Structure 1
Amino acid sequence: MEYQVGWGKREIHITGCGYAMHGYGQPGHRATGTRNPLYARSLAIADLDSDDAPLLYCCLDLGYVTHAMRQGVVTGLRESLGEAFDEHRLVLTCTHTHSGPGGCAHEGLYNLVTPGFVPAHLEAVVEAALASLRAALVTRKATDIQYRSSQVPDPVPVAWNRSLKAYNRNPDVAPRDATQTHLALDRTMHLISFHRQGRVRALLSLFGVHATCLGNQLAHYDGDNKGYAALHAEMQLQADGVSEPVAIFAQGAAGDVSPHYHGPGDRKRRRKLRGEAEYAYARKNGEAQSEHALAMLEAESGQAVSGPLDGVLTYVDMSDQAVSPEFAGGSRDARTSAPCHGVGFFLGTPVDGPGMPAPLGFAARRLARAQRRRSLKPGSPRQAQAQALYASQGAKDILLNAGEKRVLGYALDRIPLPDLADPLVAELKRQARLGALTESPMVPSVLPLQIVRLGNLRLVCAPGEFTTVAGRRLVSAVATALPLEGSERCLINTYCNDYMGYVTTFEEYQEQAYEGGHTVYGQWTLGAFQTAFTRLAATFNTPPSEREPAEKNAPPPVLNSELALRSDIPVRGREMSSG
């Protein structure tokens, strides 16, 4: 099998002018400049023996991909490529840097901190993605593709599990203690490399670790560890004589994986990293990832990638999914629910991104449980609805019911907290009073699920953040459903095509740490993804010409009138949020 492959890289031109960055949910985390440029890096892969549309892969130095971004890129590619474009074969993903621009979503919640929707940011992202994809398309030449995988050695200080109690709840893991958090994750790096005349010209690495080396006190856009990894690898390839190389360092299952040490004395150690030390740390972490990838190319013979290209994409409403008993411990009543955020979400993560103070969290839990009791009380007008909700949400102490747009039972514009107490609450109330959130969803619920075939590789392209074990279980379910044969491999790429929060295992969810609190569709969320992805895997048996259009079940557009009410909202001072 011969492939034509091209690659391209373009800067995302966004000027830091005081808008809050996406990632930490802190209104004071504002960008006033750029430390290292943010890029869109792309691959275009075509089969020389077929007239089918090429596979297109674009990775953005951003904290998230949104449906608005994807729709902008799809529209642009349709205009320029016509029938030579197949949306099923487009993957849009990101590095998950927390030092990138916000304001790029049409939904309300993740734009709140910016504050609001910033059309110029979205336009710049779409423009850079399209430019890099078009560069990849026009530079296609005969290229050999190889695959390798290798464990990042245990002593390399690159990743630690940040939610060990939740991880240890899983029956399918070896329990770890507080000194072994670097082992409570998948240390495998998967590497796809692209060769011409026997030399590596581009590469794609998949390794799960958060891009949170840089904290929420800094004021510049930066690609964080994944960005530094890409720049380092490209620099090394250039030094070896490669012209215009592209190195993509994308994410695997990173939901519970931190780039910061977790163990005895972790918070004290993190507090010592400030300012320039954080940038140095991000560079060191990224270069460790890059050096491992480059060493893999030198030390190991790659497996040739060969075979057909294909992709299947569908949209699924994850807020109301029946879960197969196979993925629900035998239960026939397991369902997801409308999105809800727990107190654990607002408490944040102690080392990577602290949220509200613990005393406020304690009070919020008490209020959330009181609201649960009121809702479930016999005779309550909403008792049946509440029973279904809490059956799905389980142990979660619900602070924000994003589906119903209520906080602890109160409508958004009537939250009984003074505006001065929290700038995010004040902004939420202000937008609600304007009518900017009346019809708009707070977070996405209709989500894109995608599986891509690159010869003997299958790439599960999942939205949001999957924890280590959740990602492993999803890959296992898809691999069984395909099924795989011989040398075929199934890999996971997260943060693809949209963002809605986290996916934990059922067991991890019961801990209600940050990751479980941000698993918005409830305790059966992973089971719902396993159910839907295995159903999608069967689509490969249907000829491409007979498959449903990818956009058939896509989410409805958000009202322009509401977007206008929360667009380019004037920037306020550098106040900090307790959330």
Structure 2
Amino acid sequence: MMGYGMWHNRAWGQATALYARALYLRDGGGRGLVFVLLDLGYITHAMRSGVVARLTQVMGEAFEEQALVLTCTHTHSGPGGCSHDAMYNVVTPGFVPEHVEAIVSAIVDAVTAAWQSAAPTELMLARGGFDEPVPVAWNRSLAAYNRNPDVTPRTEHETHLALDREMQVLAFRRDGKVQALLSLFGVHATCIGNTNTRYSGDNKGHAALAAEAQLAANGASEPVALFAQATAGDVSPHYQGPGDIARRARLSGEAEHAYAERNGRYQSTQALEMLAAGNGQPVEGGIDAVLTYLDFTVQQADPRFAQGRDDAFTSDPCHGVAFFTGTRVDGPGMPQPLGAVAKKVARWVKRNRLGHPAGQSAEDRAYYQRLYAAQGPKDILLEAGRKQVLGQPIARLMVPSFADPLVAEMKRQAQKGAMNFSAMVPTVLPLQIVRLGPLALVCCPGEFTTMAGRRVVQAVQEALHPAGVEQVLICTYCNDYMGYVTTNEEYQEQAYEGGHTIFGQWTGAAFQTAFAALARQLARPAGQRRHDRATRPQPAPAAELALRTNLPVPVRRPGRTPA
């Protein structure tokens, strides 16, 4: 399964079905929009490119690539092996084309059904916040959050307030009844932990099932409820505060599944009560969308988003020690003593490289100066760009294979030549904004923290307000997955989220810059837009992809002989 990066976290059964839920909208001028939410941990370019090819065939001129939004619930209890990039497939191990084929087929079936059943529908947007006592979400990186100058600092007893507790719900009504809904609220789908052995939609999946059952009881025909993610990067469904680890330890087995259902019901109840109150705003007007792909290894942030600096650049992707040590409550990783040793080695490698050792080329000297300037205080364990771990090429890594099955698999794939020219993680990323009349939705790849997402929304709102956009919402985990996005201030803490912000300390500012520029293009008439529409990620070399496809799984099924 994809989510925790744990070798043993494998599915032998199903707790809840995993769905592709789709909405198809068409305005009076014939412009269409396709929105798909998957019960998965991540979206990949392999999925998206497959869906684009098939929908182009099935829907013809009714389909526009820039108006396709693919996103996910980010359940950690779904299938892995769905990326052509090497790193996030190591636990599977390798690429599993059967998974991608099943996912693409489910998406196309769901979209086709939505498209063919389209009928006149009224749209309404409702907004409302969870009451403080509702135990639905907590900030899991409070020290990082409190570094932001634009927040109210919170104590360890107020982690439930160090996040955006508002939910937005877009309702689709026919004949006075809600036929479908799209909820946006950020909270990790990690109620179920890494010892689970069954597929599950986790809290978001349970929220959808509960809402659909209630809508059907209210008279809707084949209702569809999408519970998508907003700013979930630093938001946990588990209590964070004094005694949190002990409290989490008391949840295991079936209790985790019950907890996921309960958390989901908080979300479905909130959405349905907001709609029942009837105080939403009508959404009327035309559909529009822009989509572009940018290489995030070479982005420069606008000084107004980068504390006035004109040297705020991103770099090749790097994962910090904090990424590998995981999160305290949701998903612990590398043991802390081993992490402490890794930090010392990472700092030694940095000092050595910046000290210009004998034999270092001028090219390498410039590269490392730029890399470390961008990565700032991160203790770099994995350089995904140059494919090195603690300064050593992965294939020649001195860490013994028996120390960790993931290390063993990564070394094995590198040694057989499966990673020579393949990207380890996506670096050419999709940025998308869709518009429904006075409403705009910013569609972001990866996981944005509460404040990183809020700043992106503010940047887009500023750019689109003159064009008549009154409200801007955010949806994350859209169209591809590369990791996290924090603010610069949060990044300095080097908690898990900062360690997984792979393009460095100015990544958040670079996204603000890029989305503001894309929003300015959306504000122009379609014929006057000048954003890049041609760039796409380079395909993985077919020969290397074949070397890491459907690899044997050396794992023991519980109670069975070795597979």
| Interval containing the TM-score (normalised by the shorter chain) | over 0.9
Give the distance between the partners of 2:531 and 2:316, measured in 1 at CA.
26
Whether 1:493 and 2:475 are equivalent positions in the alignment is: yes
2:210 aligned partner: 232
Amino acid at match of 1:482: L
Q: Deviation per CA, 1:325-346: give whole Å up to 9, x if none.
A: 1111111111000000000000
Local SS of the residue matching 1:82: helix
Q: How far has the Cα of 1:417 moved from its partner?
A: 1.0
Amino acid at match of 1:387: Q
Whether 1:160 and 2:138 are equivalent positions in the alignment is: yes
1:51 is aligned, of 30, 43, 53, to 30
Give the distance between the partners of 1:99 and 1:27, measured in 2 at CA.
13
Q: CA RMSD in A?
A: 1.4
Whether 1:145 and 2:127 are equivalent positions in the alignment is: no
Give the distance between the partners of 2:175 and 2:246, measured in 1 at CA.
50
Give the distance between the partners of 2:215 and 2:530, measured in 1 at CA.
41
Is the Cα–Cα contact under 8 Å of residues 194 and 201 in structure 1 kept in the other structure? Answer: yes
2:561 aligned partner: none
Amino acid at match of 2:313: R
Amino acid at match of 1:158: V
Q: Deviation per CA, 1:505-560: give whole Å up to 9, x if none.
A: 00000000000000000000011101111111121244435657975111111111
Whether 1:481 and 2:463 are equivalent positions in the alignment is: yes
Whether 1:327 and 2:305 are equivalent positions in the alignment is: yes
Q: Deviation per CA, 1:42-98: give whole Å up to 9, x if none.
A: 000001x2133x100000000000011000110011111222211111100000000
Is the Cα–Cα contact under 8 Å of residues 23 and 111 in structure 2 kept in the other structure? Answer: yes
1:14 aligned partner: none
Whether 1:215 and 2:193 are equivalent positions in the alignment is: yes
Local SS of the residue matching 1:101: coil
Is the Cα–Cα contact under 8 Å of residues 206 and 249 in structure 1 kept in the other structure? Answer: yes
1:505 is aligned, of 487, 491, 494, to 487
Q: Deviation per CA, 1:480-521: give whole Å up to 9, x if none.
A: 011257772000000000000000000000000000000000
Is the Cα–Cα contact under 8 Å of residues 86 and 425 in structure 2 kept in the other structure? Answer: yes
Give the distance between the partners of 1:144 and 1:359, measured in 2 at CA.
57
1:41 is aligned, of 7, 11, 21, to 21
Give the distance between the partners of 1:247 and 1:51, measured in 2 at CA.
24
Amino acid at match of 1:256: D
Q: Deviation per CA, 1:239-294: give whole Å up to 9, x if none.
A: 11211000000000000000000000000000000000000000000001000100
Which runs of 5 or more residues in structure 2 are unaligned? Answer: 559-563
2:167 is aligned, of 174, 181, 189, to 189
Is the Cα–Cα contact under 8 Å of residues 412 and 432 in structure 1 kept in the other structure? Answer: yes
Give the distance between the partners of 1:547 and 1:475, measured in 2 at CA.
21
Whether 1:570 and 2:548 are equivalent positions in the alignment is: no
Amino acid at match of 1:50: G
Give the distance between the partners of 1:376 and 1:512, measured in 2 at CA.
21
Give 1:268-347 correspondences, 5 Å limit: 268-347=246-325
Give the distance between the partners of 1:408 and 1:279, measured in 2 at CA.
38
Give the distance between the partners of 2:211 and 2:449, measured in 1 at CA.
27
Give the distance between the partners of 1:550 and 1:36, measured in 2 at CA.
41
Amino acid at match of 1:262: Q
Identity among equivalent positions (%) equals 59
Whether 1:198 and 2:176 are equivalent positions in the alignment is: yes
Is the Cα–Cα contact under 8 Å of residues 160 and 181 in structure 1 kept in the other structure? Answer: yes
Is the Cα–Cα contact under 8 Å of residues 437 and 469 in structure 2 kept in the other structure? Answer: no
Whether 1:516 and 2:516 are equivalent positions in the alignment is: no
Local SS of the residue matching 2:518: helix
Local SS of the residue matching 1:57: strand
Amino acid at match of 2:172: F
Q: How far has the Cα of 1:573 moved from its partner?
A: 1.3
Give the distance between the partners of 1:378 and 1:118, measured in 2 at CA.
43
How many residues align? The count is 554
Give the distance between the partners of 1:119 and 1:176, measured in 2 at CA.
45
**Larger displacement relative to structure 2 (419-428 or 478-487):** 478-487
1:18 aligned partner: none
Amino acid at match of 1:408: L
Is the Cα–Cα contact under 8 Å of residues 522 and 529 in structure 2 kept in the other structure? Answer: no
Give 1:247-266 correspondences, 5 Å limit: 247-266=225-244
Give the distance between the partners of 1:245 and 1:368, measured in 2 at CA.
52
Which runs of 5 or more residues in structure 1 are unaligned? Answer: 1-20
Give the distance between the partners of 2:414 and 2:338, measured in 1 at CA.
23
Q: TM-score, normalised by structure 1?
A: 0.94
Give the distance between the partners of 2:145 and 2:236, measured in 1 at CA.
13
Give the distance between the partners of 2:467 and 2:529, measured in 1 at CA.
24
Amino acid at match of 1:282: A
Local SS of the residue matching 2:369: helix
Local SS of the residue matching 1:482: helix
Is the Cα–Cα contact under 8 Å of residues 145 and 195 in structure 1 kept in the other structure? Answer: yes
Is the Cα–Cα contact under 8 Å of residues 321 and 335 in structure 1 kept in the other structure? Answer: yes
